[in-house]
Amino acid sequence: MILESNLLAKMQIGEVLLHSQNSNTLHFDGTSDAQRHFLGFQITTNHENLSLSLNENVRGDTQTQVKTIKDNFLEIANLVSHSNEHINENYAKLMLSIKNMMSDQHIVNKNFYDEFVKMRTDLLQKFESNWDTMSENEQEKAAEIHNVPPCKDDIFDAVFSNHMLPDTDVLSESASLMSTHLYLTVSRLLNNQLPEGCHGTDNETIREESLTVPKHNRTSEKNFADFKQIRHFKPNSSIEHIEATLMWVNNKTVEWLDLMDPEIKNAKITLAMKRAPEFISKWHERKIQLKQKRLEKLKEKKPKGEARCSKLKNKQTALDTLQILNLQPCNTGQDVTEMLQKFFHVCKADKNTNIQIPLMDNVKAPLFADLNLSTVTQQLTRVIQQEVKRSVQNRINDSGNCDRKIDAMEKTLQDLVLNYTNTFDQLTSTVEIITPASCHDPYQNIGKGCYFISDDRVSGNAAFASCTDPGAYLANFETLEEAMVMTLFLQKKKSGNHYYVGGRNINRYLLNGDWRWIKHGKVTKMTYFAFAEGQPSGTAKDEQDCMFFYANNRYQFYDIECDNEVYYGGYICEK
């Protein structure tokens, strides 16, 4: 159900944007985690912040950003369109609903801004009926996107007085002289708000069009903080699962669904389940393409590695000579050059002259070696040739190691692609609900689980002892989608009974308690919080340690006393 939740969250975004004023703000930022690169988009409307998407990319260039935002809006347009003829029209409406953009002003983001303005202009030409009758200035204003740095006036006010001064040039010069880093910050983040910048003076039109622009880029930063936390605790989660979790929580998709008429809500859930296999296939293709692009990028790096190894081969100098004729080792190429010039200069002057080479700098007892220059020349040539030959061979060996490492990495990636393909084929076969052989009457399949729903009225304590069939236990809803499916089933059942489940508070002294799922004597911490508003309400003095679907509030989770006749209810067994 997590993938279906992803689609429901995107339906929510589509409806909000299509019914909003066309002055929304697009946020975007990127991050890297474990050598993988991710790009996130968020949108701020007049009323709320929405997580739009989270995508994994091989590159972080402008073309990748443009393609990613196009694919995301096309995906949403596909979900909210009733027919294929309306997809392009809804795609244009979604893109044109963006009037402001907020980023950290990185050079790639500036290029993305230019490309986004071009896309907006092209869409206006196709879908704006009055485009041809507009003046050139009106067309320019309509296509304009307000590019706002994530600081608005706060940083500006902290550095400068936010009003016109007689000597504005002095301000600019002072800023440039403060420091290189401050000048870079000012030029990138505050340029638009300095005198003569697009936000340097008040403009009522821009003010109205940028009402959705917040004073900070906290939305993007929070998204990536939540993303990294999920990756830390669930490193094997797919990007689609993480994206669904972020959108479901940040966009409050549950509240959006609860406000709908039950028939409309059920229709949307049914549509999401129906479209899920189609989108799973698309996501699978996207992952395969991502793996292939990683391989291509690795192959692009291979010539650079070979060039680096070749450069090492060519760096053969006398630096590899550790000690020649009792002299100290040469540390630089200049040392080698000076040494050779000294010896050959003396040799050329008098080949038969014996010279003294200082071996120890000692004033009291200087130590010299008497050497014949002819012998020195021959020995020096022989030693250097040997050292050069040895060094070349070492570099060749290192080069071979580089090639082997690159080939091994390429083979590993190919194996990963093959392994991923096989794993996905196995998982795809489980998309359809298959009735387990052990799920017999009175148990029934609900979603992907096997449950027995009893209408016998018992206490919470008695419910734990009521699931007596072999392998059965009081139902555990360890994922949000399992709980959603059961909630929908009970709403349709309309029995009016509450139903106890296997959740238990094991520490009532903590705020909101410590809720666990109990199964065959083992306890598992709950990974999501889906209690109704104001719940759980138990305290150390008011013991409410059991948990049930509460019939009087559309079967949401409530905490309740474990032995209170007023709240006797049915129970749900699972196996």
CA dist 381 and 18 (Å) reads 82
Give the number of C-alpha atoms closer than 13 A to the C-alpha of residue 409, restricted to the C-beta side.
Answer: 15
Q: What is the pLDDT of residue 204?
A: 77
Q: What is the pLDDT of residue 444?
A: 94
Residue among 158, 159, 125 at smallest CA distance from 140:
125
Residue 463 CB contacts under 8 Å (≥ 6 apart), including other chains: 474, 500, 546, 571
Residue 202 CB contacts under 8 Å (≥ 6 apart), including other chains: none
Q: What is the pLDDT of residue 301?
A: 81
Residue pair 193/175 in contact by the 8 Å Cβ criterion: no
Span 272-289, pLDDT tens digits: 888 888 888 888 888 888
User: Residue 124 carries which side chain, given as an amino acid letter?
Assistant: L
User: Tokens 């896309």 appear where?
Assistant: 119
Q: What is the pLDDT of residue 2?
A: 75
The interaxial angle of helices 239-250 and 2-18, nearest 10 deg, is: 50
Residue pair 40/220 in contact by the 8 Å Cβ criterion: yes
CA dist 528 and 515 (Å) reads 10
Domains, the chain, ranges and CATH?
A: 2-152+213-259 (3.30.420.10), 444-574 (3.10.100.10)
Residue pair 558/532 in contact by the 8 Å Cβ criterion: yes
Span 425-447, pLDDT tens digits: 554 444 344 444 468 999 999 99
The first and second tokens of residue 162, run together, are 């936010």
- In total, the chain counts a number of residues equal to 575
Q: How many C-beta neighbours within 10 Å does residue 510 have?
A: 11
Q: What is the pLDDT of residue 162?
A: 45
Stretches where the chain sits below pLDDT 70 are 1, 104-108, 149-202, 314-389, 391-393, 395-403, 405-406, 409-410, 412-438
CA dist 462 and 488 (Å) reads 25
CA dist 333 and 339 (Å) reads 10
Span 129-187, pLDDT tens digits: 888 888 988 888 888 888 876 554 444 454 444 444 445 556 665 655 555 556 556 56
Span 179-238, pLDDT tens digits: 555 655 656 656 666 666 666 666 777 777 877 887 777 777 888 888 888 888 888 888
The first and second tokens of residue 260, run together, are 């709908």
> What is the phi/psi pair of residue 523, to 5°?
-115, 140
